[in-house]
Structure 1
Amino acid sequence: MWEMQRRIAAFDAERFQSLGPGYVALNLAGEAGELANAIKKLWRSDPRIGQPDGYAALGAPDRARVGEELADILMMSVVLANHLDIDIEAELVRKLAVIDQRLQAGYYGHEAHAAEDA
């Protein structure tokens, strides 16, 4: 199990024990909405945010704001995983393998674009 998952479990033991999975999932969705809203506001002020090179358009304050929202999302994801006895590190390893297989099979269409560029 991921060390951060253990630390969040200790933090969670004091705070989220009275919350059911529905509440935690809704809280997670709310945090994802806050991230989307933060990015949307940045995008309105700089259209490059929607482009592949848009990451470079984010200055330090913007990155800090996005980082806070990502931390909230990760925290609530791990709280939910802990309550369901899911080893999030093992799930991430498994998911990366699935995505890798899909990429190799051309599932996401990246291979088609690479062939066009060659």
Structure 2
Amino acid sequence: MKKTIAVPWQRAHDRTTIPTDSGIHQSIDKRLIPMPDPDSAILPTAYEGLARLQLEFDIYQKAAFPVRGPNFFALELNGEAGELANLEKKVWKGLEIEAERFANEAADVLIALLNYANARNVDLAKAVETKMKLIDERRRK
């Protein structure tokens, strides 16, 4: 479902021109121009911490485990995500799980993801920022 945002009525200057892909300016009704979505204003923007964390993991990984490649880390990531999913399955079945176990498995997933991204030369900060913008665009449609 398309999310619409009310545009204030502007009687005096309802029309404006916008450039088209062909470079020709087209006259349109200003009330048809989408207003900024307030939810879009809260999109994450501070990806520097992620970039620094990834760099530090890369330095450590290359020093401590220089022969492990992306295939290893992809399998490790899936294994760790599976362990986290198993904890959730236990909760779903009514068992009590200590919060520390979730934290440990979530940390394992993040570590494996950082190592995988480094092995594949993926800039996670840039990739996440790009993906969040895409998700936000889809959400607004």
CA distance, structure 2, for counterparts of residue 102 and residue 66 of structure 1: 31
**Displacement after TM superposition at 1:3 (Å):** 1.2
Q: Residues 9-88 of structure 1 correspond to what in structure 2 (within 5 A)? A: 9-45=58-94, 61-62=98-99, 64-88=100-124
Structure 2 length normalisation: TM-score? 0.59
Task: Name whichever structure is richer in helix by fraction.
Answer: 1
Aligned counterpart, 1:98:
134
1:16 CA displacement:
3.0
Tell me: higher relative CO, structure 1 or 2? Use CA pairs within 8 A at least 6 residues apart. Answer: 1
Deviation at 1:5, TM superposition (A): 0.6
Match of 1:89 in 2: 125
Name the CA distance, whole Å, in 2 between partners of 1:15 and 1:42: 35
CA distance in 1, matches of 2:93, 2:79: 21
* Whole-angstrom CA distance in 1 between matches of 2:127 and 2:134: 10
Counterpart residue type for residue 55 of structure 2:
R
State the distance in 2 between where 1:22 and 1:4 align.
21
CA distance in 2, matches of 1:45, 1:15: 40
Instruction: Quote the offset at 1:23 in angstroms.
Output: 1.5
Stretches of structure 2 lacking an aligned partner (at least 5 in a row): 1-47
In 1: Cα distance, 2:120 partner to 2:79 partner: 20
Aligned length: 92
Moved more, 66-75 or 13-22: 13-22
Over aligned residues, Cα RMSD in angstroms? 1.9
Q: State the TM-score, normalizing by the size of structure 1.
A: 0.69
> Within 2, Cα distance between the matches of 1:16 and 1:99?
35
Q: Which whole-Å CA distance do the structure 2 matches of 1:12 and 1:3 have between them?
A: 14
CA distance in 2, matches of 1:15, 1:35: 25
Moved more, 84-93 or 10-19: 10-19
